[in-house]
Structure 1
Amino acid sequence: MVISSQIAQSIVEETVKVIHRNINFMNSDASIIASVDQDRIGDFHEGALKVLQTKQTVIIHEDDEFKGAKKGVNLPVYLNNRILGVIGITGEPNEVVQFGEVIKRMTEILLKEAHLEEQLELENIAKVSFIDEWIDGDWEDDKLFAARGWILGINVHLPRVAVVMEIIGFNDVLYEKLKSHQADVKGELEFQRFRREILEMVQNHFPKESQHIIIPAGSTRYTLLLSVDETLSDQKRKEKIRYRLDKIQKAIHTVYGYDTAIGAGRMYLQPHGAAKSVHEAERALLHAKNRNHTSYFYDQLGIESFAYDLPFEIREEYVKNVLQVDSKKNLDQIIETLNTFYDAGGSINEAAEKLYIHKNTLQYRLKRIKEETGYDPRVLPDAAKFYVAITFHLINNGTKRTNL
């Protein structure tokens, strides 16, 4: 482990709380890399060099006894039986020597903690990199890839369902903060802390020893590769997934006040299926957002499962041809009316109630739509055209908003 100046400085700041004396930390080159006295950082410390050479405590009685050193005590600090640096306490030797062993032990404990955190961070980076490669489907040797996963504690051969969750509206909140006086380093740190808290909240909804994979995917998205039981019926498996996801969404809303949208892909039995399931989950998520649903499974999609593959211009032209409306205000009302009418299964009473209008008003709107477009929303072939047009409209507007 190479000690960074940031870690060394944090150790100095912690130890100075104990004895309220000037503390210096010297690296393996005998250079001061952290100190209460900032003017000394970067100086060569000959006393520390002697400590490194002899691996013994060095007491300095006079300021000029060693180059770049002041009187005090300097002690070697170890990690895993290897000397990593020197901790120095400035002051009258007969006063500071008594603190030497305590500060040395405290420094070694702090170094061990920093080392463990560094190892955990490196392990986390390795896991995220591996999972990104898995989601991209970008590997050549299946056996080698599975072995790498095994080392990281990940079994890639388990049946899995991908889920993509997005926190609705948080990007807008973040953008407004970045435009305002609140945009500073502290704000970025708060944002990163928020992301970690959400990640931990999601992780805490699953058993610690489970094979569920949860990682951040962008600023406000999280990708989950859920290990599932392939022997369950499709309906039962979905019920279990939906139950767990519903609890997560409620928890996020309760604690942070944010709504979430979730898309889930299909189950795949082989490692390469993860990439397909993630792609499906992303489409299901986009559809859930377009339809204002909290969650959607990919196999619930109808024409949406392939409509995203059509060029934007083709979808837009179809919408214009069917709806034949130039005014955005009229278009929004037609979309809202038809969408609600079809979601209500064609029930006038139910749709009118959802729209907060009288059923006669709804019938009048449907009649006007027929007159303006030439298609009757209550006739099945025409209703199919309208449904496709609404779907294309929602996809196009959703595509523009999310850049997917």
Structure 2
Amino acid sequence: MEIDQHIAETIVSNIKDVLRHEINLFDTHGVIIASTNRSRIGHHHAAALLAAQTQRTVYVDDDHRYEGARNGINTPVIIEGEVAAVIGVTGERDAVESFGNIIRRMTEIFLRENIEQTARYNRRISETNLINQLIGEHQDTELIRYLASVLDWDVHAPHYVAVGHMAPCSPSLASTPDPVILPVRHLQRLPGSIFTANANGCCLVVESTPDSTAALRDLHEALSTDGVAIGFGVSEPTADLRLIPDRYRQARMALDWQQFTRMVQIVHVSDLDFGLLVPSMDHAYMVQFVDHVFGEIDDARIRAHQRTFDAYTRFNGSITHAAEALHIHKNTMQNHLNGIADDTGYNPRTLQDYSVLDTAFRLYDYLRFTHAYDKAPEA
């Protein structure tokens, strides 16, 4: 095991704040790689080499001299049965001998923290690479199987894709320098999943089990508790890795509809109706359809008609209840419905015309949501 130069310097700097002695950190070959006395970096130290080879503390004093060594103590740092480094304190033996266990334990703690941090980072990179391979159109089967084995991820189990998007106005995200820290703390606890995340959202490939749906709800609740406003789109499961790109598209479609409707926070593609059709439609045809129905009507009047139409729909065609909801007289409500018919040529009280208007209002809203449609007001 070899220690990174930056980590070695960090360890020496931290120990220096505790002990008022010269501190040296050696690699397993007895070479000083970090020291409070920078002029000694790169020097060979025979006592440190012996400590590494024997896995025992080696003392240097007037009776025990070693090439390149000054009086002091040199103790090996052992991680998982292997010498990772040797840490030394310069000084008279009587003054520094009691520090042997202290500096060894401190160095072990720093090294273990670094090893764990590096392992987490490497896993994150591997998970990101695996997900990119899984959802990409040109999968590298051998690379997928290699990364899956590294991550102990079951390539034969059924999985679904979940894509999440965080609202930029989330209070905790706004006050956090690195927003991705918030979701990752919870994402890594989701059983049977791999994930990748950035400042705006995340993508998970989750093993499909009887408990996985509840686990995703728990994840959403945990994120919400942290103040993170997030919605998820979820695909159908598949055990065929070749279908994962299609499942990713399903999840993106479900997420798109979730963001558009905002009715629920987790949308499964299997629950979509209009959501299966609208996001996949060509925007040019949507615009053509909306323009056909609404003609030259400006946005303000379309929205006014939509409020009338929505109330009429919500109360299943009851003019009385719709009028009460809008705080208007029922005769005014009838006039508003007539106004829709006059402006569009489609009468909401006629079943066939109603379906055209319903579709037009939905497409109008969706086009505005995607910033693909903006009618100019009348002059």
Q: Using the alignment, how far apart are the partners of 1:84 and 1:21 within structure 2?
A: 22
Contact 2:170 2:228 survives alignment (8 Å)? no
Residue number in structure 2 paired with 1:370:
341
Residue number in structure 2 paired with 1:264:
234
Report SS of the residue matched to 2:177.
helix
TM-score (norm. length: structure 1): 0.72
Out of 261, 278, 286, the residue aligned to residue 256 of structure 2 is 286
Alignment CA distance shift 1:289-1:365 (3 Å): farther
Residue number in structure 2 paired with 1:49:
45
Q: Using the alignment, how far apart are the partners of 2:350 and 2:135 within structure 1?
A: 44
Alignment pair present for 1:384 and 2:355: yes
Deviations 1:65-92 (A, max 9, x none): 987x876434443445554433232444
Q: Using the alignment, how far apart are the partners of 2:304 and 2:137 within structure 1?
A: 43
Report SS of the residue matched to 1:2.
coil
Out of 187, 199, 206, the residue aligned to residue 219 of structure 1 is 199
How far has the Cα of 1:285 moved from its partner? 1.4
Q: Using the alignment, how far apart are the partners of 1:267 and 1:315 within structure 2?
A: 31
Contact 2:187 2:219 survives alignment (8 Å)? no
Q: Using the alignment, how far apart are the partners of 1:80 and 1:247 within structure 2?
A: 36
Residue number in structure 1 paired with 2:375:
none
Contact 2:131 2:205 survives alignment (8 Å)? no
Report SS of the residue matched to 1:308.
helix
Report SS of the residue matched to 1:274.
helix
Map 1:29-44; keep pairs closer than 5 Å. Answer: 30-33=31-34, 35=35, 37=36, 40-41=37-38, 43-44=40-41
Contact 1:281 1:297 survives alignment (8 Å)? yes
Rg bigger for which structure?
2
Alignment pair present for 1:139 and 2:128: no
- Aligned residues: percent identity? 21
Contact 1:51 1:75 survives alignment (8 Å)? no
Alignment CA distance shift 1:329-1:42 (3 Å): farther
TM-score (norm. length: structure 2): 0.77
Q: Using the alignment, how far apart are the partners of 1:290 and 1:171 within structure 2?
A: 17
Q: 1:312 is matched by which residue type in structure 2?
A: H
Report SS of the residue matched to 1:277.
helix
How far has the Cα of 1:220 moved from its partner? 3.2
Q: 1:368 is matched by which residue type in structure 2?
A: G
Residue number in structure 2 paired with 1:123:
123
Out of 277, 281, 284, the residue aligned to residue 313 of structure 1 is 284
How well do the aligned residues superpose, as a CA RMSD in angstroms? 3.8
Out of 184, 196, 208, the residue aligned to residue 196 of structure 1 is 184
Deviations 1:143-183 (A, max 9, x none): x7457535532222223332223233447985xx5xxxx8x
How far has the Cα of 1:397 moved from its partner? 2.8
Deviations 1:330-385 (A, max 9, x none): 333334443554455545566567x6544735444332222212212232222222
Residue number in structure 2 paired with 1:162:
161
Q: Using the alignment, how far apart are the partners of 1:298 and 1:119 within structure 2?
A: 35
Q: 2:119 is matched by which residue type in structure 1?
A: Q
Map 1:167-182; keep pairs closer than 5 Å. Answer: 167-170=166-169
- Count of aligned residue pairs for this structure pair: 361
Contact 1:215 1:224 survives alignment (8 Å)? yes
Map 1:294-333; keep pairs closer than 5 Å. Answer: 294=264, 295-333=266-304
Structure 1: tracts of 5 or more residues without a match: 230-236
Q: 1:224 is matched by which residue type in structure 2?
A: L
Structure 2: tracts of 5 or more residues without a match: 53-57, 373-379
How far has the Cα of 1:5 moved from its partner? 3.7
Report SS of the residue matched to 1:162.
strand
